[in-house]
């Protein structure tokens, strides 16, 4: 089947990896970028010569531009299908719309709550409306929404986890097992959002469900836990750390790194793994929601130590590192603990994360070291 993908947020971390993944699968990819006064296409510039890739301008907060871009992409998908019919029979045109556009920085959302709501919630609504108004059968147009584990906020579920089973001679004392309550979030964990960003994402998440139930749209929300990469925005804590560590490795006399809350725990995976899950969701028989994560959680402090270790440091605690705690970097309200359970995605999509925590940290540090060396 000939397939066309439309990606809102193509210039972001995930947009760039998703574009590469879909081009690799033979998709025609149309990326939507917003107009900016300085170039914002750095993450996709290397794809400029790809014959199956094109960039168009649009802004998710502008309903007129969204509806034009969606309509034009549908025309492209239809024409592509007509052309491919001469080569092979096909079930019909297929357009996959991925909405990755958002004001995605949680702390910034406290400073810009209205802008965040417009881009993150109303932007999603504009895309849903544009698809609904195409009025084509649901198997032809499929929609993916970038939901977030931030929607869980302070909420988690708990269950008993066996940490050690005791045995004595031939007798295995199940009753003597040592257990602890482990915390996790999955598709049935309640939401308790703790920032304007999370509230906007949750509103969008419910809109996706509504359009699926009320209008029969093929729509999925991927509830993704934190995912990072060599292309991660420099204001997120992981990249801020790895970029600093790379400079520190070359010059130990630089100013210390200023950070906020080191005690928060996050379930960090690699973005390249997570975009595969987005695509898989749209290949199912019906639209559904999936938690995507690694199932492991680490504190910011652990990430910090791992990053310094990747650069050769033997420090075992933060106190011996060039790090200063800056209370202005604390958030008015914090999400203390995120750790997902992606059993459903493993079972239904056949997806699993490939990049473990230590490798993620190493890849980011080494990439930033190479960039530092290039100046």
- Residue 121 annotated in active site: no
Q: Is 146 in the site for ligand NAP (CB under 6 A)?
A: yes
Q: Residue 257 belongs to what H/E stretch?
A: strand 257-259
Report the residue from 6, 69, 204, 264 that binds ligand F7E according to the rule CB under 6 A.
264
Tokens of 117: 């709501």
| Distance separating alpha carbons of residues 121 and 316, to the nearest angstrom | 42
**Which lies closer to ligand F7E via its Cβ, residue 78 or residue 236?**
236
Between strands 157-168 and 171-184, the pairing is: antiparallel
DSSP letter assigned to residue 121: I
Find which of ligand NAP, ligand F7E, none residue 264 binds, CB within 5 to 8 Å per kind: ligand F7E
Tokens of 103: 């004001």
Angle at the Cα of 253 from the Cα atoms of 249 and 256, rounded to 5 degrees: 85
Q: How far is CA 9 from CA 14, 34, 41, 63, 98, in A?
A: 8, 8, 11, 15, 8
**Which lies closer to ligand F7E via its Cβ, residue 65 or residue 226?**
226
- Residue 150 annotated in active site: yes
Interface positions, 84-143, toward ligand NAP (CB under 6 A): 100-104, 119, 123
Q: What is the DSSP string of 5-26?
A: EEEETTTSHHHHHHHHHHHHTT
Taking the complex as a whole, the smallest distance from the CB of residue 350 to ligand F7E amounts, in Å, to 23
* Residues 101/60, Cβ–Cβ less than 8 Å: yes
Total residues at interface with ligand NAP (CB under 6 A): 26
Taking the complex as a whole, the smallest distance from the CB of residue 249 to ligand NAP amounts, in Å, to 25
Query: Helix, strand, coil: what percent of the chain each, to 5?
Result: 40, 25, 35
Q: Which residues pair with 157 in a beta bridge?
A: 184
Tokens of 278: 């987005």
DSSP letter assigned to residue 346: I
**Could you tell me which residues come within 8 angstroms of residue 190 by beta carbon, excluding any fewer than 6 positions away?**
152, 155
**Which lies closer to ligand F7E via its Cβ, residue 77 or residue 335?**
335
Q: Is 148 in the site for ligand F7E (CB under 6 A)?
A: yes
SS3 158: strand
**Which lies closer to ligand NAP via its Cβ, residue 74 or residue 152?**
152
Report the residue from 76, 150, 273, 289 that binds ligand F7E according to the rule CB under 6 A.
150
Of the residues 197, 211, 274, 337, only one is catalytic, namely 197
Find which of ligand F7E, ligand NAP, none residue 329 binds, CB within 5 to 8 Å per kind: ligand F7E
**Which lies closer to ligand F7E via its Cβ, residue 288 or residue 334?**
334
Residue whose Cβ sits closest to ligand F7E: 264
Taking the complex as a whole, the smallest distance from the CB of residue 285 to ligand NAP amounts, in Å, to 25
* Residues 331/258, Cβ–Cβ less than 8 Å: no
**Which lies closer to ligand NAP via its Cβ, residue 121 or residue 244?**
121
Of the residues 150, 228, 230, 272, only one is catalytic, namely 150
| Distance separating alpha carbons of residues 120 and 114, to the nearest angstrom | 10
- Residue 148 annotated in active site: yes
196-235 mask for ligand F7E (x: CB under 6 A)? Answer: -----------------------------xx--------x
Q: Residue 79 belongs to what H/E stretch?
A: helix 63-85
**Which lies closer to ligand NAP via its Cβ, residue 45 or residue 165?**
45
Positions that interact with ligand F7E (CB under 6 A): 104, 106-107, 148-150, 225-226, 235-238, 240, 259-261, 264, 266, 300, 329, 331, 334
**Catalytically annotated residues:** 148, 150, 197
Positions that interact with ligand NAP (CB under 6 A): 8-9, 11-15, 34, 36, 40, 59-61, 100-104, 119, 123, 146, 148, 224, 226-227, 233
């Amino acid at each position: 089947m000939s397939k066309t993908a439309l990606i809102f947020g193509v210039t972001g971390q995930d947009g760039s990896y998703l574009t590469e993944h879909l081009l690799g699968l033979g998709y025609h990819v149309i990326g939507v970028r917003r107009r900016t006064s300085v170039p914002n296409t750095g993450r996709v510039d290397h794809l400029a010569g790809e014959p199956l890739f094109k960039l168009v301008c649009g802004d998710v907060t502008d309903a007129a531009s969204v509806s034009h871009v969606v309509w034009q992409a549908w025309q492209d998908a239809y024409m592509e299908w007509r052309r491919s019919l001469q080569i092979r029979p096909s079930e019909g045109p297929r357009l996959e719309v991925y909405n990755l556009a958002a004001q995605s920085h949680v702390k910034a959302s406290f400073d810009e709550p209205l802008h965040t709501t417009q881009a993150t919630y109303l932007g999603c609504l504009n895309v849903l409306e544009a698809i609904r108004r195409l009025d084509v059968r649901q198997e032809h147009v499929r929609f993916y929404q970038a939901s977030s584990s931030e929607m869980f906020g302070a909420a988690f579920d708990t269950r008993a986890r066996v940490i050690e089973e005791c045995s004595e001679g031939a007798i295995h004392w199940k009753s003597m097992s040592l257990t602890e309550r482990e915390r996790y979030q999955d598709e049935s964990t309640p939401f308790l959002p703790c920032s304007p960003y999370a509230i906007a994402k949750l509103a969008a998440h419910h809109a996706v469900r509504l359009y699926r139930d009320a209008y029969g749209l093929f729509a999925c929300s991927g509830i993704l836990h934190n995912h990072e990469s060599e292309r991660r925005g420099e204001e997120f804590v992981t990249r801020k750390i790895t970029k600093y560590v790379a400079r520190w490795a070359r010059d130990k006399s630089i100013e210390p790194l200023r950070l906020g809350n080191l005690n928060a725990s996050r379930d960090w995976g690699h973005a390249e793994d997570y975009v595969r899950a987005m695509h898989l969701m749209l290949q199912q028989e019906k639209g559904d929601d999936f938690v995507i994560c690694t199932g492991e959680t680490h504190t910011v402090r652990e990430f910090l130590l791992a990053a310094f270790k990747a650069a050769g440091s033997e420090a075992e605690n933060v106190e011996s590192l060039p790090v200063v705690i800056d209370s202005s970097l604390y958030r008015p309200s914090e999400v203390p603990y995120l750790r997902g359970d992606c059993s459903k995605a493993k079972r239904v999509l056949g997806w699993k994360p490939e990049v473990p925590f230590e490798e993620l940290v190493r890849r980011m540090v080494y990439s930033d070291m190479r960039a530092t060396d290039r100046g």
